[in-house]
Structure 1
Amino acid sequence: MHDAATSMPPQAPSTWADYLAGYRWRGQGEGCSAATVHRLEAARRPTLFVKQEVLSVHAELPAEIARLRWLHGAGIDCPQVLNETQSDGRQWLLMSAVPGDTLSALAQRGELEPERLVRLVAAALRRLHDLDPAACPFDHRLERRLDTVRQRVEAGLVDEADFDDDHRGRSATELYRLLLDRRPAVEDLVVAHGDACLPNLLAEGRRFSGFIDCGRLGVADRHQDLALAARDIEAELGAAWAEAFLVEYGGDIDGERLAYFRLLDEFF
């Protein structure tokens, strides 16, 4: 659910006041991240988005800003960083809007048939994964990700009430030990989005238009993206379409690694 539109909030950076005069701000509801998101609209002016997050050691917005700049420079469709600043103890990001709507919204409204959706997701991820991982400065391989998981568990940042049904009733500490025990011996490294859920892929006019929420982008096992995309496709369309997506993506896909990266996602 989105909030009612308002004028620029008083805590927003004062340096943005002139540029954003006339825009109406509309909250975009709660997501999994700690960031607050507003959609900005004004007559005859481009739609913009503002993201803000409290500055802390666990803040994700600074990482997203760096990744959006890199990804845009690599030629992948995503929001363009227009300005970023720190104000009132918060990190602020002003960015362009990716045209269209999320694949999850299009699927729920029946505006994108399952076969087309599956092909869009597979093609978008293949293009991203075809980037040279040696050129990507962001390391999200398991050694680093598992250390981040440990820190989040120790800081009490893992929402155990939000675990999938397969893991409901188990503690974050217990699942962390399971992650360590089941860690794959080899990683199939690509440039991965890191949170390739259907709400983070957009389409316009039946064509893929871009990725959003790119704060976890980095060099990682391709199964990181395939696991979350397949999970969402199964939830929206059924298991047969999740399997069709994996076939459309192609290559050797390891079911155990898909399960592993779904388990990893419980901590974020």
Structure 2
Amino acid sequence: MPYSGPPPATVHVPAPIATLAEGRPLLPVWLNELGGLTFRIGGGGEGGGRGEGGDGGLFVKWAPAGSGLDLAAEAERLDWARRFTPVPHVREHGTDADGAAWLVTDELPGSSAVSDRWKADPGTAVRAVGAGLRALHERLPVTECPFGWSVDQRLERARRAGMDVPADLPEPPPVDRLVVCHGDPCAPNTLLHEDGSWSAHVDLGALGVADRWADLAVATWNTEANYGPGWEDTLLDAYGIAPDPHRTDFYRRLWSVT
């Protein structure tokens, strides 16, 4: 599986990011599997890739040309979702002459669910991820959402991007409940308050309407990578739903394809 996590010790700072920093402290905090980088400008605190206290810092996401990361689409989704639930406020976004892109957002209160503190307390972290996902699904209005993340839409985007969609992918199961899905509900994208409750969500570039199991299948799957085996039921309990092996298996296969 492609690497996603804290960046290596030495990171080349792209010129647009250095310019945005304007001499303020600049810390690389995350490297995603497509080569995109997230930097923290100013502020203080460790937070495992996000801020600890909303102390005036900024986060800048940078996507290299050709990465497939659409930061303009993420900015649009953040602006929409922010009316209903805590997500980052977009300051600006843009592209350079080579096609690389960046997205600047304000820091939010809370620390990542995969910060050192919460990885040492996985029960609290996993429950917060589950409760936060349920809150996101309840707060974002399906009928007002202009973005889609359905099975057909995901497969079509994958084909347009040149991905190999296997012919034996089964038919999708009947929809359990349509919600506005996060689209990348892995643990690093949930922030926690100091007391261990969920605080906010980040990285909503794929947000859109879909069956809630499109999120739940991936969120539970990701618990093992971040906290070890045995936490899937804890997340589902915090969300308030029983396991659904059939939908879980389908949406994990779809995730692997798309």
Normalising TM by the smaller chain, what interval? Answer: 0.7 to 0.9
Question: Matches of 2:8 and 2:41 in 1, distance apart?
Answer: 12
1:164-222 C-alpha deviation (Å, 9 max, x unpaired): xxxxxxxx44xx3233x232243521011011001111113022121111101110110
Question: Matches of 1:68 and 1:222 in 2, distance apart?
Answer: 19
User: TM-score under structure 2 normalisation?
Assistant: 0.80
Give the conservation status (yes or no) of the 8 Å contact 1:41–1:47: yes
> What is aligned with 2:70?
60
> What is aligned with 2:15?
10
| Partner amino acid, structure 1, of 2:216 | L
Shift of 1:248: 2.9
Shift of 1:31: 1.0
Answer yes or no: is 1:233 the counterpart of 2:242.
no
Count of residues in correspondence between the two structures: 241
Question: Matches of 1:245 and 1:87 in 2, distance apart?
Answer: 41
Aligned partner of residue 213 in structure 1, secondary structure: coil
User: TM-score under structure 1 normalisation?
Assistant: 0.77
Question: Matches of 1:2 and 1:104 in 2, distance apart?
Answer: 14
Once the two structures are superposed, the pairs formed by residues 86-105 of structure 1 within 5 Å of their partners are 86-88=95-97, 89-105=99-115
> What is aligned with 2:198?
208
Which of 127, 142, 161 is 1:119 aligned to? 127
Shift of 1:135: 1.0
Question: Matches of 1:13 and 1:87 in 2, distance apart?
Answer: 13
| Partner amino acid, structure 1, of 2:234 | A
Give the conservation status (yes or no) of the 8 Å contact 2:113–2:125: yes
> What is aligned with 2:51?
none
Which of 139, 146, 154 is 2:155 aligned to? 146
Aligned partner of residue 56 in structure 2, secondary structure: coil
Give the conservation status (yes or no) of the 8 Å contact 1:101–1:203: yes
Give the structure with higher Rg (CA): 1
Question: Matches of 1:13 and 1:236 in 2, distance apart?
Answer: 31
Once the two structures are superposed, the pairs formed by residues 71-82 of structure 1 within 5 Å of their partners are 71-74=81-84, 76-82=85-91
Percent identity of paired positions between Structure 1 and Structure 2: 30
Shift of 1:62: 1.6
Give the conservation status (yes or no) of the 8 Å contact 1:192–1:222: yes
Aligned partner of residue 148 in structure 2, secondary structure: coil
Give the conservation status (yes or no) of the 8 Å contact 1:8–1:24: no
> What is aligned with 1:224?
214
Give the conservation status (yes or no) of the 8 Å contact 1:5–1:27: no
Shift of 1:7: 11
Shift of 1:3: 5.6
Aligned partner of residue 39 in structure 2, secondary structure: strand
Question: Matches of 2:228 and 2:37 in 1, distance apart?
Answer: 31
| Partner amino acid, structure 2, of 1:125 | L
Q: 1:220 to 1:6 in 2, by over 3 A?
A: closer
> What is aligned with 1:35?
36
Q: 1:100 to 1:218 in 2, by over 3 A?
A: same
Question: Could you list the runs of 5+ residues in structure 2 that have no partner in the other structure?
Answer: 1-5, 45-54
